[in-house]
Amino acid sequence: LASYDPFADTGEDSDIQIKGNIHIRIQQRNGRKTLTTVQGLPSDLDPKRILKSFKKDFACNGTIVQDEELGEVIQLQGDHRTKVHQFLIDYEIASKDKIKIH
């Protein structure tokens, strides 16, 4: 007899496991402060150089966080979702259909 758990993981975050897509998300911090996270960048790119370009172009601070499930995730201070999206398209890092803004 199998029981149904209504609070079990429903798989909402299943898009995290998809390879090939770049996910740009925003996380709310305290008050008006936000973080923009970028994950799923191709492994042949140097995340430190990309972060340096982001920081210079967007005039913000940022860091690279090593996550067990997601790998290397770039965090930027502030809401830079559209700027990151345009940056990735302009420098031909990814095509428009491979970038997902959440």
For the chain, give the percent of residues with pLDDT over 90.
61
Amino acid letter, 18: I
CB neighbours of 52 closer than 8 A, spacing ≥ 6? none
pLDDT tens, 68-102?
A: 888 899 999 999 999 999 999 998 888 899 999 99
